[in-house]
Amino acid sequence: MSETLALLVALPVLTALIPVVLGRIWQKAGWTVAFVGTVLHLALVVQLARAIRIEGTVSYAVGNFAPPIGIELVGDWISATLVGLVSVITLIVLIFERDRNDSSDAFYSELLLLIAGLSGIFVTGDLFNLYVFLEITGLATYALVATNPSPRAAVASLKYLLVGTIGASLYLLGVGYLYISTGTLNMADLSQQLAEVGYTSPLILTGFVLIMIGLGVKTALFPLHTWQPDAYTESSDSVTVHIAALVSTAAAYAIFRVTFAVFTPSFASAVPVALDALTIAALLSIIIGSVFAIMQTNLKRMLAYSSVSQFGLVIVGISVINETALVGSLVHLVGHAVMKAGLFIAIGGLSIVAGGYELEDMRGIAQRAPILSAGFVVLAFALVGVPPAVGFVGKWNIVLGAINSGDWIVAVVVVTSTLLTLAYFARVIERMYFNSPISIDQTAATDGGQARPSVPFQTRALVSILAFASVSFGLVAIQFITAITPIVGGYLT
Instruction: Render pLDDT for 273-308 as a digit per residue (tens, 0 to 9).
Output: 888 899 999 999 999 999 999 999 999 999 999 999
Q: How many Cα atoms sit within 13 Å of 370 on the Cβ side? A: 1
Other beta carbons less than 10 A from residue 96's beta carbon? 23
pLDDT at 255: 94
* pLDDT tens-place string over residues 183-198: 889 998 898 898 888 8
* pLDDT tens-place string over residues 413-468: 999 999 999 999 999 999 998 877 765 544 444 444 455 567 788 888 999 999 99
pLDDT at 445: 46
Give yes or no for residue 482 having a pLDDT over 60. yes
SS3 389: coil
Torsion 481-485-487-491 (CA) sign: positive
* CB distance 360 to 431 below 8 Å: yes
**Cα–Cα distance measured from residue 295 to residue 423, given in angstroms and rounded to the nearest whole number:** 10
Closest by CA position to 339, among listed 195, 170, 469: 469
Stated pTM of the model: 0.92
Give yes or no for residue 405 having a pLDDT over 90. no
**Cα–Cα distance measured from residue 179 to residue 126, given in angstroms and rounded to the nearest whole number:** 12
Torsion 146-284-271-123 (CA) sign: negative
Please compute Rg for the chain using Cα positions. 22
SS3 72: strand
Q: Which amino acid is at 203?
A: L
Task: Read off the pLDDT of each residue in 121-133 and give the average, rounded to a whole number.
Answer: 93
pLDDT at 449: 47
Percent of the chain with pLDDT over 70: 95
Task: Read off the pLDDT of each residue in 456-483 and give the average, rounded to a whole number.
Answer: 90
Strand partners, 417: none
Q: How confident is the model at residue 470 (pLDDT cuts 50, 70, 90)?
A: very high
Closest by CA position to 437, among listed 490, 370, 349, 383: 370
pLDDT at 443: 41
pLDDT at 24: 67
Q: What is the DSSP string of 398-443?
A: HHHHHHHTT-HHHHHHHHHHHHHHHHHHHHHHHHHHHSPPPP--TT
Question: In 235-369, where does DSSP find H-type helix?
Answer: 237-242, 248-257, 264-270, 272-295, 299-319, 323-354, 365-368
Average the pLDDT over each of 25-34, 289-298, 318-327, 425-434 and give the range with the smallest value: 25-34
How long is the chain? 493
* pLDDT tens-place string over residues 203-223: 999 999 999 999 999 998 988
Task: Read off the pLDDT of each residue in 106-124 and give the average, rounded to a whole number.
Answer: 91
Task: Read off the pLDDT of each residue in 375-396 and give the average, rounded to a whole number.
Answer: 93
Percent of the chain with pLDDT over 90: 52
pLDDT at 20: 73
Pick the most confident of 20-24, 47-51, 195-199: 47-51
Q: How confident is the model at residue 72 (pLDDT cuts 50, 70, 90)?
A: confident
Burial (Cβ within 10 Å: 0-12, 13-18, ≥19) of residue 419: exposed
Average the pLDDT over each of 9-13, 134-138, 272-276, 393-397 and give the range with the smallest value: 272-276
pLDDT at 446: 45
How high does pLDDT run on average in the chain?
88
Closest by CA position to 329, among listed 406, 261, 264, 399: 399
